[in-house]
Structure 1
Amino acid sequence: MVRELSSPQRQIFQLKVSLSDVTPLVWRRVLVPGGYTLDRLHRVLQHVMGWQDCHLHSFEIDGLQYGEPDPDGELTVRDELDTRLDAVVGKGSRFRYTYDFGDWWEHDITVEDAFGADPGERYPICVTGARACPPEDVGGPFGYRTFLVALADPGHPDHEPMREWIGRPFDAEAFVADRATTLARRLC
C-alpha cells in the first residue's frame, strides 16, 4: 500500500505593527506566511503602512540587526534575503522595524498569533488598522506633529507651505484595510 504524504500546512503569523512616537497611534494588523523572508516582510510593511520604499530600513530581532548588507562592510547587518520570519520569531515575539534612517520611523511589531493557513485564502492580508501613515520625508514623529498642527490651522504660518508640499488632500484618520491588502498582494 502506498501512502500519500500530505504537505505540512503553511504557518501564518498575525502581526500587530504600531508606529512608535506617533499620537494618536498609527497601527496595522496583518497576516503573513511565516516562510516569508524578512525582505518580503519589509515589502508587506511598506504597503500596509503606506510608505513608498524610498529609504533604508532594518529589523532588530533579539539584539541582531537584519537588512540589506552594507557593500562597504561598515555596518554589521545580517542579510534579510537569507532570513525567514519563522526562523527568528514565534508567537509572542516582539521586534522592531526601522524605516528611513533620517526620519527614523520605528515600528513595534508583536507576533500576536501563529496558526495554519486557510487553504482557500491568499496572503498577506491586512485585517485592520487605524489612521493614515505619515507622508514620506515629513521629518519623523516631531515633523509629523508639526505638519498636522499646520494643516489643521489655516492661520498657521506654515499652513500654505505644508499644503503645497504635500500636494494632495491629507486625512490623518483615513485608512482602508482592503486597499492595503490589495497593494500588498499585488506588489509583494
Structure 2
Amino acid sequence: MTRQIFQLKVTLADVLPEVWRRVEVPGAYTLDRVHRVIQLAMGWQNYHLHSFEIAGAQYGDPDPDGELAVSDELEVRLDAVARKGSRLLYVYDFGDWWEHELLVEDVFAAEPDERYPRCVAGERACPPEDVGGVFGYAELLVALHEADHPQHAELRSWVGPGFTPDAFDPARATTLLRRLT
C-alpha cells in the first residue's frame, strides 16, 4: 500500500508580513504528531497548550475533568479528518492565542526514497514565545526596526542577537523534523 503524504501550508493568522510554512506530512500521523511538526517547522518551543478545530470538532489533550468537549488528538489520524482542500484551525498558546490556518494543498503518494515529514518552503521567523500575541509581536517589530525606539535596546536584548524577523531556513526546519521519524 502506498503511503499518502499531505502537503500542508501552515499560515500564522493576523501577522503581517505573513509567516508561513509548507510541510509534507504522512497522512497516517495522528494529530499530536501534526502538532509536533507545526511546533518544529514554525519555530515554537512547545511551552504552551494547543488545540485543533476541524469541521466544528475540537481535538487536543483531553480534559481530565471532562468539562470540555475535546477529542483525544492521539486517537485521530490526519487522513481521517482531512483531504485535499481541507482547512483546519490550530491554536497554540491560549494566552497569546496564535491561530494557524492549515490548508491541505495536496495529497500524493510518498516518494520511495524520501524521508517525511519535511519542510519544503516558508517565509519569515516565527514570533518569539510569550511576546504578547499579534499586537505584542507588531510592537516588537516596530521597536526592533527603529533604533531610537524607547524599548529598542531592552527588546533586542530580550529576543537575543540571533532573532531576525525576515529569516527562515526550510532545510534547518527539516533537520529538526527528522527527530520525529
Task: Give the partner amino acid of 2:140.
Answer: F
Aligned residues: 181
Does residue 1:63 correspond to 2:60, yes or no?
no
Which of residues 122, 128, 140 is equivalent to 2:121?
128
Which of residues 151, 173, 179 is equivalent to 1:180?
173
* Secondary structure in structure 2 of the residue aligned to 1:40: helix
Query: Aligned equivalents of 1:77 and 1:156: distance in 2?
Result: 43
TM-score (ref. length: structure 2): 0.97
Unaligned runs of at least 5 residues, structure 1: 1-7
Which of residues 25, 29, 33 is equivalent to 2:26?
33
* Residue number in structure 1 paired with 2:134: 141
Offset at residue 160 of structure 1 (A): 1.5
Task: Give the partner amino acid of 2:44.
Answer: W
Task: Give the partner amino acid of 2:136.
Answer: G
Offset at residue 72 of structure 1 (A): 1.9
* Residue number in structure 2 paired with 1:3: none
| Runs ≥4 residues deviating over 4 A | none
* Residue number in structure 1 paired with 2:85: 92
Does residue 1:165 correspond to 2:165, yes or no?
no
The alignment-based identity, stated in percent, is: 67
Offset at residue 18 of structure 1 (A): 0.4
Unaligned runs of at least 5 residues, structure 2: none
Task: Give the partner amino acid of 1:61.
Answer: I
Q: What do residues 104-159 of structure 1 show as CA deviations (whole Å, max 9, x unaligned)?
A: 00000110000111111100010000000000000111100000101111211111
* Secondary structure in structure 2 of the residue aligned to 1:154: coil
Q: What do residues 55-98 of structure 1 show as CA deviations (whole Å, max 9, x unaligned)?
A: 00000000000000111222110000000000000111011100
Offset at residue 169 of structure 1 (A): 2.9
TM-score (ref. length: structure 1): 0.94
Higher Cα Rg, which structure: 1
* Secondary structure in structure 1 of the residue aligned to 2:158: helix
* Secondary structure in structure 2 of the residue aligned to 1:96: strand
* Residue number in structure 2 paired with 1:118: 111
RMSD: 0.9
Query: Aligned equivalents of 1:166 and 1:38: distance in 2?
Result: 30
